[in-house]
Amino acid sequence: MLKKVSLALAVAIIGLAAVVASRPSTYRVERSITVAAPVDLPFGIVNDFHRWKFWSPWEAHDPKMQKTFDGPYAGPGAIYSWSGNDQVGKGRMTILESRPYESIRIQLEFIEPWPATNTTTFTYQPGPEGVTVRWAMEGHNDFMGKAFSLFADMDGMIGKDFEKGLATIKSLTETEAKNRLEREALLKARAEAEAAKAAQGAPPAPTAPAQAGPTTP
């Protein structure tokens, strides 16, 4: 009887291992949103790690999260490291490539609670209704990752966070675009008012001196 149970258990384990091995070795999560703002605004808020605190969906998970910044202030080579509670863990992001107003490629390294390295990409495509911002993350599944995918789908786990982050980027940048237009209109109105005032108070243009008439002897 014990031999039969052991044999059945061994067969079950082998079967489960085969199922796990058959799972996809890669995964991709992607979300997009259209932003009615100049492309420099949604690009800049991602290209500068210091500004992620205003829109990153994970900032709210741990307000006391420790953060450090290394390398350039923004763009290629900029590094953002974090360490927080169980919800955010510990990790590091490095901007590998930044093509102004086109794309930003980031290496995302998780250190805790489990190590993993993924690639995150933001792309920007201007259109008639605004800029379409796409946020995508790609990664590889080792055996444990494949086993985990049997019970939890990566897209389902973080897709909502991507949507929340993009919605915040949209709100912030569209508000800034509106403020920018209002500032430009105000500055233009002031300049026109000053020009009109200067024109009204300007002294009359000088006239040429009268020609002297011929003299008689």
215 pLDDT band, cuts 50/70/90, is very low
- Percent of residues, the chain, with pLDDT higher than 90: 47
Backbone angles phi, psi at 183, to 5 degrees: -65, -45
**CATH code (residue 106):** 3.30.530.20
In a domain, 191, yes or no: no
In a domain, 34, yes or no: yes
Higher pLDDT, 64 or 50: 50
pTM over 0.85? The answer is no
Q: What is the pLDDT of residue 16?
A: 38
In a domain, 27, yes or no: yes
In a domain, 29, yes or no: yes
In a domain, 198, yes or no: no
Least confident span in 36-45, 68-77, 105-114, 155-164: 155-164
In a domain, 145, yes or no: yes
Residue 78 has a CB neighbour count (10 Å cut-off) of 20
Residue 173 has pLDDT above 50, yes or no: yes
Split into its structural domains, the chain has a count of 1
Residue 208 has pLDDT above 60, yes or no: no
* Residues 61 and 87 sit within 8 Å (Cβ to Cβ): yes
71 pLDDT band, cuts 50/70/90, is very high
Each residue's pLDDT tens digit, 102-149:
999 999 998 887 788 899 999 999 998 899 999 999 866 553 444 444
In a domain, 122, yes or no: yes
What is the spatial distance between Cα 154 and Cα 148, in angstroms, rounded to a whole number? Answer: 9
**What strand order describes the sheet that includes 79-83?**
26-35, 130-140, 116-127, 103-112, 90-99, 79-83, 66-70
* Residues 91 and 109 sit within 8 Å (Cβ to Cβ): yes
Give the residue-averaged pLDDT of 50-77. Answer: 92
In a domain, 115, yes or no: yes
| Domain that includes residue 31, residue range | 20-180
